[in-house]
Structures are given as structure tokens and as C-alpha cells.
Structure 1
Amino acid sequence: MACYSLFFSLILLLAAVCYGQDAFVCSRATYYGSPDCLGTATGACGFGEYGKTVYNGEVTGVSRLYRNGAGCGACYQVRCNIPTHCSEEGTQVVVTDYGEGDRTDFILSTRGYAKLAQPGMAAELFSYGVVDIEYRRIPCHYRHNLLLKIHESSRYPLYLAIVPLYKGGIYDITDMEIWQDDCKEWIPMRRAYGTVFDIPNPPRGPLIIRFRFVVEANAEVKWVQLASAVPSDWKAGIEYNTTFQLN
């Protein structure tokens, strides 16, 4: 009976560590190599070059947190659980890709993985390959306004694909719509993949766009409308400043 009590106590202790007042969740993390230690421009979120350097290259691919692309752009604090090797604060990373490892939720860039370690202990931490971690969602903070990038696959004026960049706060972008003035209605854009939203035969003229932002934890919903956020002569590959910040 004493053994069962001890076992049950350990279960409660682990639960308290993984789901305590700081709302950390237990998981595992690994890393992927790249020549420059940054992210990848071919990530599943569709960020392109932005996905390499955002957050100083401290980025991550995720598995179940990807949520069919809704998790793209989310920021997390990740810290590992080896007292002799791991720093107390760990690393702060932004989701730019999808990936699956050995029962891992995070596949960090090498720069992000190195930040898990105490000073001088990064090489030892890399030798583990996979480490136990705990993580929590945190707000993203940028000095930039929200940018709307016209994806390179867009073809003026017949096909428009948009990628939101520098999404601040703790919100997810779940929907994007364009105002169709002749019909006097909002036309939903399709989530093509990751955080890329597209529409064939978009309206002519400066585009009025609105986003549906959701906080997953408490189901808070917020619609934000941006008038003339994209000009009538939009071009593929160009980023347009919305002058809007969501924090």
C-alpha cells in the first residue's frame, strides 16, 4: 500500500511541475541543422525568408501545435530539464514550420536549441539530440507593424495569396476575408497552407481586408478591419505595411 501511495504522490508531483501555476506543459524537443544556424525559407508556414531570420533565427517547427497552420507565428518559451546543462529561462521561439521527431513537440533551429543551455554547456546539450522540456505560450513582441506580404505565387490580377507577418500578441489568425463592394459582402479567403490565405479573381481597387484573431486559451475572438491595406496595383513578393499592431 505504501508503494502505491508513493507512486500516486509522484504522479501528483509531476503534474504540479508540468501544469503548475506558470502553465508550463511537459514535452520533448530536438533540433535541426542548417549551415547558418537559422531557420529555413521553405517552412510549411509559407513565411519564406522571414522564417529564417525572425526572432534572430530562434525559430521552431512543431507537430501538434501546428494546428493545420493556425499555430504559425505563435511564440513559446521553451526550457529543458537537465539542471547541470539547462538555463532557467531557456529560449523564446516563434513557429515557422511543421515537423515531427521522436515524440517531440518542438524541432528547434540550432540557434534556438543552443539558447536552452547554460553558458558553455551548449555542446554537451547538443550531444543529447533529444531533451525533455517544458513550454508555455507567450505573447510575440515586435517593433514592426503587421505586414501583409503578397506571396510569390500570386498572379496579378487573377490570383492573390497573402501571408501575414509580424503577428504580435498571443492571438491566432483563423480567418481572412476581403470586401466585395459590388456584392456588398465579405468574401472568405481560403487557407491554402500554413498561414498563406488565397483567393482567385480578387476584387479590383485597393483591398479592404479583415482578420479574425482568436485566443485559443479563452476563446476570445476579435475582428480587425484594415481599409486599403493592399493597393490596387499590388505586386507579388511585396510587403505592405498595415500601420496596425496587435499586442
Structure 2
Amino acid sequence: MGLCLTLCHASLLLCVILILLPSPCFTQDSYISSRATFYGSPDCLGTPTGACGYKAYGSTINGGEVSGVSRLFRNGTGCGACYQVRCKSPKCCSEDGVKVVVTDHGEGDNTDFILSVRAYAKLALPGLAAELISYGVVDVEYKRIPCQYPGYNLMFKVHEHSRFPHYLALIAIYQAGVSEITAVELWQEEWQEWRCMRRAYGAVWDIPNPPEGALNLRFQVSGSKWVQLKSLIPSDWKAGATYDTAVQLD
């Protein structure tokens, strides 16, 4: 890990690190074999231009220990998922590896994970990050784990490209647990029906000409359970604003 701190700007130390904690009720024990590589960034963190649409949130979440994925991206459904990744060379790989959050999509040399430098370096035993980085690609094993963000509920952020009142785009952030959001809808009072939002890309959901007034929102979790939120988004919503759902996903 010392190598990454040497490469990163001093400002990196000022970042707020959100720690992912394993949940005692999660029972998946088996690991899946794969390969991982890394991408470069000036500060060793994630990138604010990732395919999930997280912007700055995607570069610093989990202390910058993030990853792009290939097949696990699943057309954006995999955005925000958390994985335990550990490399398989006993001489230079740590036993625990690293916990990462999916923030991007990427294709590598038969790799499932393209890690930030900070995350990749954490795969190594102390003092051996430079050697691991010199390999470029390593054999790994991984498993899905719950995300946990102490002190944070699931939130919906109004995407910066939203334009009041004609176009609304939302991003779900701090998506804890292992559940995935598979659909988002807004209540149209005039027609007495729910209007579907479109998955624009990654974790971004959008809709033209959204309903007027405070917005009732509901989202579907892992293709079955619906969670409904009354007046979550105020009538005078603004691009960049974040709204707390007071919900913790399983």
C-alpha cells in the first residue's frame, strides 16, 4: 500500500473513507476464479467519468477502492455492487484482499475487474504492491458481498444534466445490502398511474416532462419487491440535490 500513497497527491489523505463492513447474515462463502488488472489515475482513486454515471461520488466512494467490471456490469444493473476480491499468489497477495464498489464498465485481458490503483495495491502483502503492479494482470477470486455505509441511507441524487421542470434524471447512491434496483417509477396524479423512468445508462434513470409538484417515487428491488416513497423529491427540485430515502436495503 506504501507505493500507492507515494504515487498519490497529498490531498488524497483528506478524502473521507467510507468503510465497507461484512454483514453477519450474508451466507455466500464460495469464491469465483477470475483475473484482475488496474487503470491509472493521477490520485490512485476512481474516475469521475465512469459508465455508472456516479461522477465525483464514483471517484471517492469507499476511499477510492473501486472497480470497473466487464460481464458483472449487466447493462448497468451491477452498478453499486460490492465484491471481495483477493489475488492468488501466496508470495505477494494478502489473505483478505480488498472490498471494492462497482462504479464503471471496462473490458480487459479476460478480466472481470479493472481496479483503481489504490484497490489493486491493497491486494498485496505489505511492501509488495510494486511487485504486484509490475505483473499488470493477476489471477484472483471474488465473491459478492453486501455494501454497508455507516450513517448513510439509500439516497437519490438529481443528475447534473437534469433541467427543471422539463427533464429529470436520478442516480441511486449509497445502495447498501446486496439488493439491486431494477426499476424506478414516478406517480402521475393527473392520470392516476405510475410512469416508468428509463434506465438511461449505468445507474442513471431519467424521464422527460416529469409530473408537477412533489414527486412520489417507487423502485423495484431485485425484480420483485417494490419500495414506495411519498413526496421524496420536492416540487422545486434542483440539479445536484440529494434526497434521503430513510431506507436501508437488505
- Fold agreement, TM-score > 0.5: yes
Q: How does 1:119-198 map onto structure 2 within 5 Å?
A: 119-143=126-150, 144-198=152-206
Q: Partner residue of 2:52? A: 45
Distance 2:30 2:209 in 1: 45
Distance 1:24 1:172 in 2: 20
Structure 1 residue ranges (4+ consecutive) displaced by more than 4 angstroms after TM superposition:
none
Shift in Å, 1:142: 0.7
Distance in 1 between the 2:29 and 2:157 partners?
A: 35
Offset from partner CA, 1:179-201 (integer Å, 9 cap, x none): 11111111110000000000000
Where in structure 2 are the equivalents of 1:1-247 lying within 5 Å?
Answer: 22-143=29-150, 144-214=152-222, 221-247=224-250
- The alpha carbon displacement at 1:108 in A equals 0.2
Distance 2:107 2:167 in 1: 32
1:78-103 per-residue CA deviation (whole Å, 9 max, x = no partner) reads 00000000011100000000001100
Residue identity matched to 1:38: L
Counterpart residue identity of residue 102, structure 1: D
In the TM superposition, residue 22 of structure 1 has moved relative to its aligned partner by 2.2
Q: Which structure's CA Rg is the greater one?
A: 1
SS of match in other structure, 2:102:
strand
Give the count of matched residue pairs.
222
Task: State how far apart, in whole Å, the 1-side matches of 2:160 and 2:42 are.
Answer: 25
What residue identity is the alignment partner of 1:66? Answer: F
Amino acid at match of 1:94: V
* AA at the equivalent of 1:108: L
Normalised TM-score (structure 1): 0.88
**Tell me, what secondary structure is at the counterpart of 1:127?**
helix
Secondary structure (helix, strand or coil) at the match of 1:134 reads strand
* CA RMSD, 1 decimal: 1.0
**CA–CA distance in 2 between the matches of 1:114 and 1:226?**
40
Any stretches of 5+ residues in structure 2 without a counterpart?
1-27
Q: For residue 161 of structure 1, what is the amino acid of its counterpart?
A: A
One-letter amino acid of the structure 1 residue matched with residue 50 of structure 2: G
Distance 2:245 2:237 in 1: 14
- What's the CA shift string for 1:111-168, capped at 9, x where partnerless? 1001101111111100100000000000000121111110011000000000011001
Q: What is the alpha-carbon distance in structure 1 between the residues aligned to residue 123 and residue 153 of structure 2? A: 29
CA distance in 2, matches of 1:194, 1:131: 27
Return the offset for 1:238.
1.2
Offset from partner CA, 1:57-83 (integer Å, 9 cap, x none): 000000000000000000000000000
Distance 2:141 2:203 in 1: 25
Structure 1: runs of 5 or more not aligned: 1-20
The percentage of aligned residue pairs carrying the same residue is 64
Letter of the 1:112 partner, please give it: A
Shift in Å, 1:211: 0.8
